[in-house]
Amino acid sequence: MPTAAALGIPSPGDWNPGLSTDPRVGSLVGALGEAVVTDADIVASLGTEMTPAVVPGTALAAVRARRTSDVVTALRWASEHAVPVVPRGAGTSISGGASALEGSLVLSLAGMDDITELDVENAVAVVEPGVITAVLDRAAGEHGLMYAPDPGSYETSTIGGNIATNAGGLRCVRYGVTRESVLGLEVVLADGRLLKTGRRTAKGVVGYDLTSLFVGSEGTLGVVVSAVLKLHRRPSRPPATFVATFSDLADAGRAVGAIMSSDVVPSMLELLDRTTLAALDSWRKTGLASDCAGMLIGQVDRPAAGDLHLLQRCLEAAGSLDVALTEDAREAAELVNIRRLAYPALERLGACLVEDVCVPRSRLPEMMQTIAAIAAKYEVTVACAGHAGDGNVHPVFIYEPAPGAGVPEPVWAAADEVFRAALDLGGTLTGEHGVGSLKQRWVAAELGTESLAVHASIKAALDPAGILNPGRAF
């Protein structure tokens, strides 16, 4: 008779079968040992993300990957047993793209957190997917470099998660979103094959741009296990930072258009509305709560002669109430931190459905007015913050949570109108958070029938069994 080990059945010390009733999990534990998590509470925590709008399913198990071979083994097992796989990093997703699906395997990449190489001469970093965004930026900073993408969750979000959603951030107005910083990838496909894409040179056009295909694919085409990333020279002196207040958000939108049409190249241009400023003041006593409808916070790296004067003219011409400029590093850091604390401040007001529409910059004033009108129509509290220089606005729908009740219908109705308004203005449903599961009902309206068919063909070619994050993105 064959031994238990020969049959792939783990010893009692490797796996407690009382924590998982599915016999298939035994062979996974036999292959990966302690990397497999079967404790129900731990699996549940690994299958949860930040948004309260998504109720996670119950996963069969989780794998805490430490190396590429763990990911290969997990995907081969999942492919063989037709088990859906939900890849995840730090779980900072707010679109429903990283929460567990019923009967799924949660694949955590957070433990793959090595900066494999930091090539100072060529300004390139090679990293594993679990590297925290801010950790990479600080490591690059020790050599006078920086990793430019800096989403609001940059102190906790991982590079792999940023790649999965093509994350943006405060600096993306000058340096671009994650896609502009990814030169190459190593990706494990659904059947366990390891695919290398891209290169580490500044230029290269051999073959299709498979790297860009995986960036923003939300874990539906493959699992990133390594990335070659472009770094930038860090400015040698603090940026010039400005703050401007407005009595009308539409005026703030016009100021954004004026700045972006000028010779000034901002490295940050952020918007905070009245509700957000009041939440920040209530929490941190910032002194920002006032009669103004909104505030712009911006920076300019290495300002040229005359840049600050031109900035002030743009802001005043758009109707700013007050403009303050500083080149003091401490003051600049405090102002940027105010922007980063916007979402935590709003969370204190209730449950938050955080959305992510993006419109052409010239339509930003109209988008802001439309959001305010929709909030009034449905009597829903909607705060707005976002990367105004990109036309990327985050309407945050705030509501009183009720156990098991989910998102109230008036909030969904208001969100529906906001999404449709963004599309009507030539915009998109999401600039950086991803579609996940929350925005699927609107995807067809943006992509159209033929585009959806092409998406489905690509998915079928790379994941014919449909095990990678099924039901997400489209």
Instruction: Provide the mean pLDDT of the chain.
Output: 92
Q: Residue 150: its pLDDT value, please?
A: 92
- With a CB cutoff of 8 Å and minimum separation 6, the contacts of 187 are 194, 195, 196, 197, 214, 221, 222, 223, 224, 225
Are the beta carbons of 194 and 68 closer than 8 angstroms?
A: yes
Whole-number pLDDT of residue 12: 32
Would you tell me which CATH number, out of the four given (3.30.465.10, 1.10.150.20, 2.40.110.20, 3.90.700.10), belongs to the domain 115-233? 3.30.465.10
pLDDT at 20: 56
Residue 12, C-beta contacts closer than 8 angstroms, at least 6 positions apart? none
Q: Where are the domains of the chain?
A: 17-108, 115-233, 238-344, 350-437
pLDDT at 236: 87
In whole angstroms, give the CA distance from residue 317 to residue 298: 17
Task: Look at the domain 17-108 and name its fold.
Answer: 3.30.43
What is the pLDDT confidence band of residue 166, given thresholds at 50, 70 and 90?
A: very high
Question: In the CATH scheme, what is the code of domain 238-344?
Answer: 3.30.70.2190
Closest CA to 474 of 461, 463, 465, 446: 446
pLDDT band at 21 (very low <50, low <70, confident <90, very high): low
Per the CB < 8 A criterion, the answer to whether 220 and 458 are in contact is: no
Asked if the domains at 238-344 and 350-437 fall in one CATH topology, the answer is: yes
Task: Tell me the two tokens of residue 343.
Answer: 């979402």
Q: Is the pLDDT of residue 341 over 70?
A: yes
Q: pLDDT digits over 312-321, tens only?
A: 999 999 999 9
Share of the chain above pLDDT 90, in %: 84
Q: Sorting pLDDT into bands at 50, 70 and 90, what band is 6? A: very low
d(Cα 426, Cα 221) in Å, to the nearest integer?
A: 28
Residue-wise pLDDT tens digits, 74-121: 999 999 999 999 999 999 998 999 999 999 999 999 999 999 999 999
What pLDDT sits at residue 5? Answer: 37
From 2.60.40.10, 3.40.50.2300, 3.30.70.2740, 1.20.950.20, which CATH number describes the 350-437 domain? 3.30.70.2740
First to last CA, the chain: 49
Q: pTM of the predicted model, to two decimals?
A: 0.91
SS (H, E, C) the chain: CCCCCCCCCCCCCCCCHHHCCCCHHHHHHHHHHHHEECCHHHHHHHCCCCCCCCCCCCCCEEEECCCHHHHHHHHHHHHHHCCCEEEECCCCCCCCCCCCCCCCEEEECCCCCCEEEEECCCCEEEECCCCEHHHHHHHHHCCCEECCCCCCCCCCCEHHHHHHHCCCCCCHHHHCCHHHHEEEEEEECCCCCEEEEECCCCCCCCCCCHHHHHCCCCCCCCEEEEEEEECEECCCCCCEEEEEEECCHHHHHHHHHHHHCCCCCCCEEEEEEHHHHHHHHHHHCCCCCCCCCEEEEEEECCCCCCHHHHHHHHHHHCCEEEEEEECCHHHHHHHHHHHHCHHHHHHCCCEEEECEEECCHHHHHHHHHHHHHHHHHHCCEEEEEEEHHHCEEEEEEEECCCCCCCCCHHHHHHHHHHHHHHHHCCCECECCCCCCCCCHHHHHHHHCHHHHHHHHHHHHHHCCCCCECCCCCC
Write the CA distances from 394 to 276, 355, 431, integer angstroms: 11, 5, 9
pLDDT digits (tens, 9 = 90+) for 346-372: 999 999 999 999 999 999 999 999 999
Tell me whether residue 383 is exposed, middle or buried, using C-beta atoms within 10 angstroms of its C-beta: 0 to 12, 13 to 18, 19 or more: buried
At position 142, the amino acid (one-letter code) is: E
- Mean of pLDDT values over 293-307: 92
